[in-house]
A and B are shown apart, each in its own frame.
Chain A
């Protein structure tokens, strides 16, 4: 597969040209944070960033997505009958995505694209996406990708990987999609041994920097009902505000709600991200609620990620170690500590 080195200026120029073939998304500085945005209206990418505050999951799984539309006008022959809402599945490229966030797409793929049902929106958005990763030379203090099957330079799930060599980027194609992307980018030179060598060193040094230990090895063998009954849930949940920040920012949280919205004589069926942190999530019409207590909802979030998912798919936890929930929880609830508790229980 092709590997090329672009000066940083060349790469920005190449992305500009790639906009003819792709809808190009990249991290853009937005106030104090970075957000993945389409490179339109003069928006400039900024790859010198720790990670985006909002995960890029919304590029494949928008926080609000129209599923169907319908007419409520009795004089229409198809009144009350749902029709597919038009969608844009033209090629898009997400450039500069961190390896943990690419890993997260692979984690949620098991849910949206399973042997029995394929979620047509997720699958088609994902298939139309080319993921161009960016290796993490300097992981954050909250990162723990290496503890959950990832790596700051992991190529898992990526179509191409960018590595910041200082003045230039080494860009390696990893799949046919990545090859097509890289071949459409003008400029750059074939990667030389010095560049490849330097990339190896950066990867090794990044791995070294992640010191935290979050063992998950014993989760699989625990009995789910024992962990569920463990005595620490009320204490873990004590300070939680049920604000939902953790699930909203998380690249591996996938729960959604479906709602109808009408305006005049027409309407849409829409799906919106939802959160197991909210009591309404499980409230029955009868008033019964299996998770009406805060600690039950907090337990659900951690049990889902660290036990139910592990049991269901037998291939690791439902967490990519991106650290967003750790960083942005207003009361410092830390999944790494909860995971240690569960693993040791």
Chain B
């Protein structure tokens, strides 16, 4: 019988330290059995359980895009037992990945629309996956304007800095990088909190869908800005976190009302969340 708890064995292919405080690292994995890569077919917005024998499993959003072949990538913040152990692992080490899990951003609905992406801090991972996916030549024509607002505390805390700089240069998307503050006199981009920059740079909700990922406080202050711009709750997309174990809606841990964040989410519209108890 198929066992949904059994991870695919993977090898760490590369590790990149993303932030100045060294608390965030991006891990690229390759599947030890090449056929597993196909079985792990995913869509941006999904997550996976990273499994370390002897330490446990953690749910982490998939940061690579299905258009990037030969590896999957995750960006992990050092927090507790498993994440700390992972941060101490080396290239070549063997571990496991279980997934893909959960639902994804509403790609079909986003087709033919303007896409607004708003991210803060290290919750930018599945948004990176989404941007890479949309910018792929096969996919770019499916979407109208792409506007991204991404902020971090300071320049050293921004993820994927090389890619951000490249996106800034492109003329087929609008990239707004911001930091809460900086003492770097050469800082070329915005200074200010994400909600304020959103209010400044996003001018219309016409034919647009907004996806928001970030710390709770950022989400709380961005929501009214979007509503003022005219985004109805059906067109505001959020990705949630809950403590998880099974990742497949069976262990009973991650519910909000009758929805399991691991299986029915992690992606919800604001309209859906308004129907659920505010317990997250």
Contact = CB atoms under 8 A, between A and B. Distances in A.
Nearest to A288: B216
B3 A258 contact: no
Interface stretch (A30-38, A66-74, A334-342): A66-74
Contacts of B137: none
A224 B2 CA distance: 35
The binding surface of chain A is classed by DSSP as mixed
A290 interface: yes
A116 B255 contact: no
A283 B253 CA distance: 10
B252 A255 contact: yes
B242 A282 contact: yes
A70 B248 contact: no
A286 B2 CA distance: 34
A317 to B, nearest CB: 13
Contacts of B246: 256, 258
Interface of A: 67-68, 70, 72, 79-82, 84, 111-112, 114, 116-120, 123-124, 224-225, 228, 254-260, 262, 267, 269, 271, 274, 276, 281-286, 288, 290-291, 296, 300, 303-304, 307-309, 311-312
14 contacts: A68-B6, A82-B51, A111-B252, A120-B4, A228-B277, A255-B251, A256-B245, A257-B253, A258-B5, A285-B79, A285-B83, A300-B279, A308-B258, A311-B257
Contacts, number: 131
Interface in B1-19: 1-7, 9
B77 to A, nearest CB: 9
Contact of B53 (A81, A117, A271, A282): A81
A81 B96 contact: yes
A111 to B, nearest CB: 6
Interface in B100-122: none
B66 interface: no
Interface stretch (B54-62, B155-163, B229-237): B54-62
Interface in B186-227: 216
Nearest to B9: A81
Contacts of A281: 243, 253
B94 interface: yes
A258 B245 CA distance: 6
B276 to A, nearest CB: 7
A224 B53 contact: no
Contact of A120 (B1, B258, B279): B1
A24 B5 CA distance: 29
A118 B1 contact: yes
Interface of B: 1-7, 9, 32, 51-57, 79-80, 83, 93-96, 216, 241-243, 245-246, 248-253, 255, 257-258, 263, 275-277, 279-280
Contact of B252 (A117, A254, A288): A254
A93 B172 CA distance: 66
Given A82-B51, A258-B251, A116 B96 contact: no
Given A70-B53, A224-B276, A312 B258 contact: yes
Given A81-B53, A267-B53, A283-B243, A67 B94 contact: no
A285 B80 contact: yes
Contact of A116 (B3, B95, B249, B257): B249
Contacts of A285: 79-80, 83, 243
A256 B249 contact: no
B253 A274 contact: yes
B220 to A, nearest CB: 13
A229 B241 CA distance: 22
A302 to B, nearest CB: 13
Given A70-B54, A256-B245, A309-B258, 15 more contacts: A82-B9, A112-B250, A118-B4, A224-B277, A225-B276, A260-B54, A283-B243, A285-B79, A285-B80, A285-B83, A288-B216, A296-B279, A304-B255, A311-B258, A312-B258
A300 B54 CA distance: 31
A276 B242 CA distance: 14
A267 B251 contact: no
Contacts of A112: 250
Contacts of A225: 257, 275-277
